[in-house]
Amino acid sequence: MQDPIKTLFTECIQTQIAAADMLQEPIEMACNLLVDSLLNGRKVYCCGEGLAHATSRHFAHIMLTGLSFERPPFPVTSLHADYGALEYDRMFAQQLQAVGQPSDVLIVFNASERAPRVSRAMEAALSRDMLIIALTQNSDVDIAGLLGPDDVEIRIPTSNAARASEHLLQISNMLCSVVEHRIFPQETD
């Protein structure tokens, strides 16, 4: 039983090392985009495909309540995943069509290969002149092609959905922490 568990730890560590080498620049770009948007009164919306939607909700929660210290809430909303919606594939897109404004930010999370609901949300965001931050993984086939020159992709260096899911959570925490400290530099841990 120990060998499979050690193998999982090893896979996780290897993905961590690869991510540390590859993702510093796109995470920095995403933080800059978030700070600029928040300081200019823009809103941030987020959603995730499948299980990655839990990371979207986590991200919205820590951006509202604070991660590192007590602070005013940031205007971040996780789009509602109404699985009883009549147009299930358009559930995120419809919400953005109702509330999204130019220069607002959409953050999408996806740990799998396909992302039909998130892709539709991205199309809606593009039609509203919103900016996009996409957290994806190596085998993504739906999201990267929708990104424009002002958007940011954070592509986790794995095709393993479990390793990608772990990193989605870690990167969402990193984004919140960096944004908090840039907007409130007087605060310390």
Task: Give phi and psi for 96, each to the nearest 5.
Answer: -70, -35
pLDDT at 114: 86
Which CATH code of 3.40.50.10490, 2.60.40.10, 3.40.50.880, 3.30.420.40 fits the domain covering 2-183? 3.40.50.10490
pLDDT at 67: 93
Check: CB of residue 15 under 8 Å from CB of residue 158: yes
For the chain, which residues make up each domain, given as ranges? Answer: 2-183
pLDDT at 110: 94
Tokens of 160: 């393993």
pLDDT at 144: 87
Taking the CA atoms of residue 87, residue 136, residue 129 and residue 91 in that order, the dihedral angle to the nearest 10 degrees is: 10
Q: Which residues in the chain come in under a pLDDT of 70?
A: 1-2, 83-88, 188-189
How far is the C-alpha of 107 from the C-alpha of 150, rounded, in Å? 13
How far is the C-alpha of 188 from the C-alpha of 146, rounded, in Å? 38
pLDDT at 88: 66
Beginning with the edge strand found earlier in the chain, give each strand of the sheet holding 105-109 in spatial order: 76-78, 44-48, 105-109, 131-137, 152-156
Task: Give phi and psi for 66, each to the nearest 5.
Answer: 100, 145
pLDDT at 50: 84
Distances in whole angstroms, Cα of residue 173 to Cα of each of 57, 87, 118, 176, 187: 12, 31, 21, 5, 17
Check: CB of residue 129 under 8 Å from CB of residue 103: yes
pLDDT, tens only, 175-185: 999 999 999 99
Give the pairing type, strands 131-137 and 76-78.
unpaired
